[in-house]
A and B are shown apart, each in its own frame.
Chain A
């Protein structure tokens, strides 16, 4: 069964303190891995798509990387406005095009 596990569940950082969020996945075949940001009471906001091991994507203070078993979302010098829940989702090559989400990492950046 396709599965996504994210860690840690919650993370508190001081402003400027860099860290990484982990997304481990088990799929029969990976069509794509997706990172989203979700603010309270809002819908997931798309950040990155990764398709193959070794791929990296970057946007402002965020950088996503992918291996054959996991993905990392690196946050460099975070600011309070980066506080949100970060969601990882995968799309498998088996069956249809649904996205399977992990439980997310709640990030709090303190000023």
Chain B
């Protein structure tokens, strides 16, 4: 069964450093997403990506964040100059238009 895969599963980084979270969406899906979940809180939308460009981004997704689809299979989230409050689970998801999204198992980002 196709699945969304994310790497790494856990990333520890120093405050101020840049991190890149990687995702391989399901191959025939056209919409890609990044969500985050701070411990004990709800799953929050960050950004959606369609047709090789951002289709929507939340207020959280400021200039510190960027997304890229560097090739036909990978989808990345870059966080520049990480802050303590960026510590969270980051989920990648993919889906078809008007249907459910499938989520990866997440990357736990810890900023120290």
Contact = CB atoms under 8 A, between A and B. Distances in A.
B88 interface: no
A49 B43 contact: no
Interface string A30-56: 011010100001111110010000000
Q: Looking at chain B's contact residues, is the secondary structure mostly helix, strand, loop, or mixed?
A: strand
B31 interface: yes
B96 to A, nearest CB: 9
A64 to B, nearest CB: 12
Contacts of A102: 42
A43 B105 contact: yes
Contacts of B93: 99
Interface residues of B, number: 28
B65 interface: no
Contacts of A96: 48, 50, 55-56
B108 interface: yes
A43 B98 contact: no
Interface string B50-70: 100001100000000000000
Given A97-B48, A97-B95, A100-B45, A32 B108 contact: no
Contacts of A87: 43
Contacts of B45: 98-101
Most B C-beta atoms less than 10 A away, residue of A41, A46, A99, A104: A99
Contacts of B103: 36, 43-46
A99 B104 CA distance: 15
Interface of A: 31-32, 34, 36, 41-46, 49, 87, 89, 91, 95-104
